[in-house]
Amino acid sequence: MADLARLTEVIEPEARALGFELVRVKMMPSEAGDGGQALQIMAEDPATGQLVIEQCAALSRRISERVDALEEQGEVLVEGAYHLEVSSPGIDRPLTRRKDFSEWAGHEAKVSLAEKIDGHRNLRGRLAGIEADTITIEDRKAGTVAFPFYAIHAAKLVLTDALITATQPLDTEGAEEVQEDEEEKADD
């Protein structure tokens, strides 16, 4: 098992050094189906809210170097074999920080609470925002429900047309060339 608080303490300065904000640090089963683990790091460039491939690669290298250096000094951050996954949070991003609930207010979200509040554990609806430490969501079935930030087990945005419209593409440079190349191949 891994100490996520310690991993975050190690990883966050590496992300900040590159100008990124850490969104989430999570240990999960490897998607390779080999019974191993994956250390998943999500980060974003505050200017875009996402990371491009080159930024993910740069952050991955920094994290790997830092973790390797600590392990050489005898600190075990993750027991057993694992692989590192560095990614952008994507459009239907997890909501992990208080600021996420204000920045994404007005959009649809799914929230799973650690325990029932007002008889509900799973909520889905429009995020009304956060005030102090209280998040409010306009749930489709339960109506307006308010709960403390610490009560969240997991939360993420729901992919909707409004969310897609609100999210700008990072970089469309080269997209026309790719389309033209595909059209040229189709003509051959």
Q: Measure the N-to-C terminal CA separation of the chain; round to a whole number of Å.
A: 55
Higher pLDDT, 2 or 108: 108
Is residue 126 within 8 Å of residue 144, measured between CB atoms? no
Q: Domain locations in the chain?
A: 4-87, 98-166
Region 20-44 average pLDDT: 88
Please tell me the pTM assigned to this model: 0.81
Say what percent of the chain tops pLDDT 70.
86
The CATH number of domain 4-87 is 3.30.300.70: yes
Which CATH number does the domain 98-166 belong to among 3.20.20.70, 2.60.40.420, 3.40.50.2300, 2.30.30.180? 2.30.30.180
The DSSP annotation for 19-53 comes to T-EEEEEEEEE-TTSSS-EEEEEEEEBTTTTB--H
- Range of weakest confidence among 30-39, 122-131, 138-147: 30-39
